[in-house]
Amino acid sequence: MRAVLGDVLGLSPARVAAFDAETPLFGALPELDSMAVASVLTELEDRLGILIEDDEVDGDMLETFGALTAFAASKARS
């Protein structure tokens, strides 16, 4: 997840390494606009071999680094 956010948003490795579960994402990271959200989701699909449906995408899953990681982990397991 750190690699995806770093690669897509162009964040430095040091900056993404400092993310923890409580780090706010959507609305807090200026790099993460709606276009970038689309890129992050698509890159996650490609790397994890998952399919994210539109109705699964909401503000909650994008709110924090922890929420997004938990969402991706649950998709990868299912």
Partner 1 sequence: MLRFGPDDGPVVIASLPLFEEANRTRAFTVSILRSLADENIGSVLPDWPGTGESLIETRDARLLAMRAACEALVEQIARPAYAVGVRSGALIDASAPMDGRWHLSPVEGEAVLREMARTRPGIDVSTLMQATEAVELAGNLLSPAMLADLAGARVYDGEHVPQRVVRLESDPRTADLKLAGAPLWRRAEPGNDLALAKHLADDIAAWVRSCEG
Check binding of 9 to partner 1 (CB under 8 A).
Answer: yes
> According to the binding rule CB under 8 A, does residue 59 interact with partner 1?
no
Radius of gyration of the chain (CA): 11
Q: Out of 42, 60, 73, 76, name the contact with partner 1 by CB under 8 A.
A: 42
Tell the smallest beta-carbon distance from residue 56 to partner 1 (Å).
12
63 contacts partner 1 (rule: CB under 8 A)? no
58 binds partner 1 (CB under 8 A): no
Q: What is the tally of helices (H) and strands (E) in the chain? A: 5, 0
